[in-house]
Structure 1
Amino acid sequence: MHTPPFRLARTSTITSGSSALNAVDGRPDGCCAPSEAQLAELNRRTRLAELDAHLHCSIIGTCLGTHELRKLVPKFTGLDRLRATDLEIHHAAVELAIEGGTGGKALQKALDERYAGAIRLFNKAKGSDAVLALWREALKSGDIPPAYWALMTHRQATTSMRQTAFGDVHMLSHLVGAANRADIRRLVALEEENASLHAKIDRQQNRSHEMSAQRDSAVQKLAEHAARTSAQGSDEVAMLRAEVGTLREALTTRDERVALHTSRREAAELRLAAEQESTRALRTRLEEMDALVKILQAEASALERAVQAPADDPSRYSVETLPMPQGMRIVYVGGRPRSNNAIRRLVESAGGQMTVHDGGIEDRKGLLAATLRGADIVVFPVDCIDHDSMNMLKRICERGQITWYPLRTASVASFVELIGRLNADAQTKGQAGGPPRFCLRHG
């Protein structure tokens, strides 16, 4: 039997030629010598399906774009090419790579065709050190996807080499968070460049003025000298004219340089203005998002405290944390039916009363003044009430001296956060000096 039924080890059959020699006469042993098919199998590149499963996600995400995956993945899955999200497409591609079927082969083919040049370059590398050197050069140049695919499937790539490349690609993702800091650094660099250009142009303009004055003086002197020496011959006159032409050419060259630096300064100023405007917009957006996050955190915290279950009876929710005087009457204008019912249950569980007016959808707006009569406070969500009802409500509250509070949304969390905030303000004022100036019941 010339071909053994098992796969020969690479190190014993490829790197050492004496391991397959006959111990008696030094000739290759027929039963242990690798066949040409086995040698080709050992020297081939690693397939995508043969790689460790935890590497597929980074390979698909780094080496194949979303547009290309949208054309390829739906052919082998039930995903809709137009409606599926980018994450669903990515997950499906990773699953196809792990399964290694027809879809995995299609991914392998697409990667090989796309990065054929990098594969040929890496195949020329001799030894692991040469492969790692090519990978480091790709990291420095920023051309990551071709080198990453070529290294992962290289026939001499080891587990440690793949883990090193995987770690490098993983750490590159953390650099995205530094984009804003890079923009700021670029803005500072542009400002410094602009100041340097201003100083340089000022120096050049001063030098140009000096040269113009020198030229005028020289021209005047040359004209006077030419007038005095005109009788001395045409040769001297020609020499003087040539010198005047040289000075004029030098002045023209200097004027062109001044114009060039002026245009560069103006372009730098335009870039600086654009960067400053972009920075202001980003800062404004960041402040708005920070304020929204704080509001959402306060609402979530207040809602969590309001619906905590007591320790003695976990099946019953506690509303004791909703600070509300007994018999307090709240009028809620607008909102949504489901949220209004939940808010009503919270208020009644805390010992208060709540009257709901939908702002004129089913309840008549003419009954709004009668509904507000005798209310301690009036609450309305700004996202679920029409402008006409809101303006009418404010006028009625001002005439009746009733305290009204707008809510950010019609959610239960916004209402609970308002009650907690009013109670905290009242307690703070009470601790600061004497009885509180604000009362949750009387305003």
Structure 2
Amino acid sequence: MHMPPFRLAQTQRLKLSGDDAAGTGLRAADACCSAPSKAVAPNTKRRARLTELDNHLHCSIIGTCLSTHELRKLVPKFTGLDRRDATDLEIHHSAVELAIDGGAGAKALHKSLDEHYAAAIRRFDQAADDVALLALWDEALKNGDIPPAYWALMTHPYATLYVRQKAFGDLHMLSHLVGAANRADIRRLVALEAENAELKEKIERQQSRLQEIGTQRDATIAALNEQIVQLTALATRQIPADDADLEAQLQRLREKLADADQRIALHTSRREAAEQRVAQEQGAAAALRKSRDQALALLKVAQSECDALEQATLDASDTSGNTDGGRASLASVRGKRIVYVGGRPGSNAALKRLVDAAGGDLVLHDGGVEDRKGLLAAALPGAHIVVFPVDCIDHDSMNTLKRVCERHQIDYHPLRTASVASFVELMARLHPVHLEQLAQGGHAPASAFCLRHG
């Protein structure tokens, strides 16, 4: 088992005198505390350096107060690690080694921390003793603003061993609580930090590019203005015979300046137009993906309908007389009463012949085009299945059909189209056991609702 970062401070024992310590059998201080240390003593007039802190504190300070993105920009400058290929653990380990070894790397880390948390350092500088320092630390724990407070406390002049130990212990236990309760949040945070780092790098590259373009433009304008001033001063000193040449040269320089401004404006407009085209192409690609998914779904349905119709055709052309088992595609409708509402006259007649040939009873109703709508409710009782194509039926008839089927507890199935293939595919898809159960038990018992009075 690994030892803790440092031993707990024996604050009560340190207050005993030498005689009292000898009488009680307690040491005045532990060996680790009495050993020479490079840490800065408390109550000095300056803050402690990162390299002056206890070596065991560097890991918590680096891991808490500096993000991985910041370390990837800083650590490779002082080590042989690759900025992109190195793992987060290698970057963190190298940063801790830089802090322990001191030198330029430790100074750069200390400077980065001071720049990030300057406001917290100023706030903690108001503490006049270790009690006030701990009060500020407890307030930061309650507010959740831990990284700035942790760095400001660890380097504060009044940060004693006990103060640093308490802050380290609070942070250590908080890491346990966070790791146990928020594993999913940590994974999302890591992904968001990676995405944020990529976006920051992209923004930095764009800003640097724009800054270079702006610098070049400013330099060009400054050079042209300087030439204009020189030529203007030269023109005032030359004889009047050269005024026309100087004026022409001055005009050419002004035209060059205007042309440079136009090119910059042109490139800016092209960039904006390209960004707009990218956004439009992304929207078009999303629409195409959606259309493709719909087409694939429709193709799958059409393929199943074609397969069912082909199987029905093969079964109809089978002259062997074998109609039992699963051979016949429409064998499941034998002895069943099926009500078909809507559709087209030609396909309805073909469906009537197919169902009759399979031994079933198909009752046709056009939904109110020529047949009376009042006959629709009367035709449903006693039916095993109700079928209607959604493309060849009016909304009023479809709503009436669904309402009556629900009252009488009759299964109803919408068809994609009024084609023979859609009907055959539905009959093949419906489980024969389900239809047999409906046939054996008959239709559901009559509903208690009245069709006229509700």
Q: State which structure, 1 or 2, has the greater radius of gyration over its C-alpha atoms.
A: 2
TM-score between the two structures when normalised by the length of structure 1: 0.40
